[in-house]
Amino acid sequence: MPQVSAPTDIRTRIDQNEPLFLLDVRETWETEICRIPGSVNIPMGEIPARVAEIPTDKPVVCICHHGARSLQVAHFLEQKGINGVVNLTGGVEAWATTVDPEMARY
């Protein structure tokens, strides 16, 4: 499973207008505290029922708080035949510490 350990790499890809699908698998209450701009929230427990909402024509970046839940979702999506799935190691916590220090943390 490909993993991105540097959130700045994702920021660069966003800044270069690369078509990415940022899939935030945290619970809704977590995304109310903080979220990466442009991300789409589908909580981990809802992924199996909502997998059709995940595009197959662009890379999917799975995101959670620290990277564990998103890794599980990335594996699941890969098993469902979705190509180009990567996990953001460190999740929004890593994003907050390296890309957006103004982001709320929990």
First and final C-alpha spacing in the chain: 27
**Is 64 noted as a catalytic residue in this protein?**
yes
Distance from C-alpha of 61 to C-alpha of 33, rounded to nearest angstrom: 20
Residue 88 host element (H or E) = strand 85-88
The residue annotated as part of the active site, out of 61, 64, 71, 99, is 64
Q: How far is CA 50 from CA 33, 37, 42, 47, in A?
A: 23, 21, 8, 5
Strand partners, 102: none
Residue with tokens 């966003």: 14
Q: What are the catalytic residues?
A: 64
